[in-house]
Structure 1
Amino acid sequence: MSRPSQLKLTTTDHNGVSVIQSQAHASSSSSLPAAVAGLQQVPQLVPTNPSAGGGKALPPSKMKKPPADKDSEEYRQRRERNNLAVKKSRMRSKQKAMDTQQRVNELKEENERLEAKIKLLSKELSVLKDLFLEHAHNLADNVQPATRYAPGAHCVCV
């Protein structure tokens, strides 16, 4: 039984990757069936630049896409979807800015109300302090001071 010879072909695909294809040829004295004796392709991916090392594959967003024909239906649809997305994004941004401005206005109004309340309560506190102090002075004026006697002195009460 003879061993089939292999022929390796190297081609480069559209992504710049070399593809090695093996073709096995059966000799005439081979015992392989005729269907198997035909071409047999085994694709293998090999980097085109062997010194580049085993780098990471690029994500789809980073891969270069061929420029689309500006007259094509696909391009027009992509542009339309993009325009709608941009419009929606700008509307959301405007709405967020308006909501923020409304919240700022509400907080300013609340702050003014609270400051007015502070002024009112401060005036009330001042009035109450004055009333308290006036009442305390009136009490002090109505109370006679107690006389002190020397130790051992006797007091005659009438």
Structure 2
Amino acid sequence: MNSIVFAILLVMVALFDAGAKKSLDPVFTEDDDYADIREEQKQITEVVLDHMDAVKLALYILLGVSLMCVVTSSMLIHGVRRKRRGLLLPYIVQEVINILVFLALIIGTLVILGTHRIIVSSVLGVVVGLLMHLYFMLVVISQYQALGLIRMHEEISMK
């Protein structure tokens, strides 16, 4: 799902880049009840347009990480089903990479795009994702240890 979402986001960013310059032109010149909202949207659009290369780079990295996650998740499922703890290690490494990418994304977003209210709320969503990945990694490490104990118990009982 993440791979599909990031691929769609890349297409949307390309289309946004092509048509966003037209959206910055003022549409209404008279008094407007929603002028402050339009001004805020214009500011956000300008910030994103100024840093479009960084946004595209971040989306490419996230797409690559999500495609790798498909492979490692498949290995995780197969490893748990077949009780082969060695197949759990790629998923753990993948989660470490995910955590590092999320930390870099949080820091990069705040440094490059600033601390606008919309950007900070997006970063909070990334922090929640980071905490979820940390939890998933801890669960898989626990399963890895449990499979080691099961294997050790089976070897002792076979003697």
By percentage of residues, which structure has more helix?
2
By percentage of residues, which structure has more strand?
1
Specify which structure has the bigger relative contact order, considering alpha-carbon pairs within 8 angstroms and separated by 6 or more residues.
2
Pick the structure with greater CA Rg. 1
> How does the TM-score come out when normalised to structure 2?
0.26
> How does the TM-score come out when normalised to structure 1?
0.27
